[in-house]
Structure 1
Amino acid sequence: MKKTIFTLLIFLLTINTFSQQTDTIDVSKPTLRKLSGIVDIEDLVKEGFNYWEEEFTGHWAGIAFGLNGFAKADYSLYPEEQKGFLDSDMLKSHSLQINLFQISKGLQSNRNAIGLVTGLGMNIRSYRLSSNTTIEQADNGMIYPKTLHFESNQKSKLSSVYLTVPLLLEFQIPVKHYANRFYVSGGLIANKRLSTHTKIKYRKDDQKEKLKIPGSYSIPEYKLSATVRMGYRRINIFASYDLAPLFKNDKGPVLYPYTVGIYLLGF
């Protein structure tokens, strides 16, 4: 009888111990937070919720407007009386950039603040020349000034249209909120010249007239430009500088085009 009671007690103790082990709840720190309604950002990140997981998006696509000028002017190929014939009015020399689309590629595995940007765009450049001067191309490709003799209100321009492809390295810095970022980028822009022309507006017999003369004007078909761009939210500025002169070697004055401007609209 005693042996039977002792065996029964051992059996009951074993069942009780097993039931305690299977019903025990491990009230750890994360569980307490979840039960109490407290959300820890560290736990969310570990579970995969991370602002930095969004893809990197650069800044290229959009419409930009700039002012054009020339640097490092050298007219050593010309006589004294012809020097400076391509001096332009910067406030009336404009650049309209229509950057159609962009491709962005982040360079960080766990962040989205550094990346490469490329795309496709179009750049329409014009230079306002002296009102009584335009240019012409000789048979040997040399560029010479040509003086105009019309009535008042003359306007003379040299314009080119380029297809542009950039390669930019961009850095972004969150300001107050991760979505509001100051950015700065720099790199190269490959330019393919599509067309060039001179345009003269003048008056004849008190009527407004326009003369447009297309040609290559010894301007290279391809060129590279260095560029720097920066901005924060709706304020975006840029500058670019051509790495080669405007005209082919020994075909015209040595002039390095540059542009400074702002983005009017981002896509």
Structure 2
Amino acid sequence: MKYIFAVVFAFFIMSASAQDGVNRPDIPGDLMVDIGFNVWSSMPGALDAKTWSSKSVGIYYTNRKILSSKLSFNYGVGLGLEKMSLGDSTLASQYNFTNGSNDSLAAVAIIPNSENFEKNKLASTYLDIPFELRFHPLGTEEGEGLFIGAGGIVGLRLNAHTKWKYDNNGETVREKISGKYNLNSFRYGYQIRAGFKGVHVFYKRYLSNVFKDSFQDGSNPVMTTVGINVTGF
């Protein structure tokens, strides 16, 4: 959460500077917010994702370069905050590796009273750089109007944690445990966007696996995110 406040605060400081007079630089760009749902291609072991509880929020400072009356290149930097709902099983913060050099990952731990989970999520934060080429069929002067865009996104993981909420003998217990959880430090993928400058829909497909090593059942998911975007704060 502290990363979100830092990005938003920095954006408003830059915006205020741009509007405050001659002595401060005019910094172009917009605040872009992606809100969507996450889906893994396959669930390892006993994990059971719940799509409607698996959310994604991206907060980016973006800019554009107009290439022609119908083409623009958009790029930015910001934070990607991902949450995956893990059902009644969860990931342990420590791992057991087997089979020598094969390093098969046994990362699923069933905690006591797991059937009483009210909340069980894996959360991770990434420093992301999205970029895309946009086609404006009706033309554009400053990036406005109808568009279809395609590009990529790369990210560096900053942190991760699990968050649990469950009942233990009539008492509500909340736990938050930070760890690496064998998550890949680097992610990359492609994105497709369509709509207007201020509001559009997006599809992100990451080509990198979620985890560094596969689970013992051989699974190692990739993540897809679908959602809506608002730009231009």
Task: With the length of structure 2 as denominator, give the TM-score of the two structures.
Answer: 0.74
Change (3 A) 1:222 1:154: same
2:222 is paired with a residue of what secondary structure? strand
* Alignment-derived partner of residue 40 in structure 2: 70
Q: CA RMSD in A?
A: 2.8
Q: Distance in 2 between matches of 1:193 and 1:179?
A: 30
Q: Give the drift of 1:238.
A: 0.3
* Alignment-derived partner of residue 63 in structure 2: 103
* Letter of the 1:135 counterpart: L
Q: Distance in 1 between matches of 2:36 and 2:213?
A: 27
Any residues of structure 2 matched to 1:95-134 within 5 Å, and which?
Answer: 95-99=56-60, 101-108=61-68, 111=69, 113-130=70-87, 132-134=88-90
Change (3 A) 1:204 1:194: same
1:246 is paired with a residue of what secondary structure? coil
* Letter of the 1:212 counterpart: K
1:219 is paired with a residue of what secondary structure? coil
* Letter of the 1:239 counterpart: Y
Q: Give yes or no for contact 1:184–1:230 (8 Å, CA) kept in 2.
A: yes
1:91 is paired with a residue of what secondary structure? helix
* Letter of the 1:134 counterpart: T
Change (3 A) 1:248 1:233: closer
* Alignment-derived partner of residue 22 in structure 1: none
Q: Distance in 1 between matches of 2:77 and 2:183?
A: 21
2:137 is paired with a residue of what secondary structure? strand
Q: Give the drift of 1:135.
A: 1.1
* Letter of the 2:57 counterpart: L
* Alignment-derived partner of residue 50 in structure 2: 89
Change (3 A) 1:161 1:178: closer
Point out which structure has higher relative CO (alpha carbons under 8 A, 6+ apart).
Answer: 2
* Letter of the 2:205 counterpart: Y
1:245 is paired with a residue of what secondary structure? coil
User: Residue 95 of structure 2: which of 111, 130, 138 is its match?
Assistant: 138
Q: Give yes or no for contact 1:66–1:95 (8 Å, CA) kept in 2.
A: yes
Q: Give yes or no for contact 1:143–1:217 (8 Å, CA) kept in 2.
A: no
Any residues of structure 2 matched to 1:136-215 within 5 Å, and which?
Answer: 136=92, 137-140=94-97, 142-150=105-113, 152-174=116-138, 181-215=145-179
Q: Give yes or no for contact 1:143–1:218 (8 Å, CA) kept in 2.
A: no
Q: Give the drift of 1:266.
A: 3.5
Consecutive unaligned residues of structure 1, counting only runs of 5 or more, are 1-56, 76-82
Q: Which has the larger radius of gyration?
A: 1
Q: Distance in 1 between matches of 2:232 and 2:143?
A: 16
Q: Give the drift of 1:89.
A: 0.6
**Higher normalized helix content (fraction of residues):** 1
Say whether residues 1:259 and 2:229 are aligned partners: no
Q: Distance in 2 between matches of 1:74 and 1:178?
A: 43
Q: Distance in 1 between matches of 2:39 and 2:95?
A: 25
Consecutive unaligned residues of structure 2, counting only runs of 5 or more, are 1-27, 98-102
Aligned residues: 196
- Which stretches of structure 1, 4 residues or more, deviate above 4 A after TM superposition? 177-180
Change (3 A) 1:179 1:229: closer
Q: Distance in 2 between matches of 1:174 and 1:229?
A: 16
Task: With the length of structure 1 as denominator, give the TM-score of the two structures.
Answer: 0.65
Q: Percent identity?
A: 26
1:138 is paired with a residue of what secondary structure? strand
Q: Distance in 2 between matches of 1:103 and 1:235?
A: 16
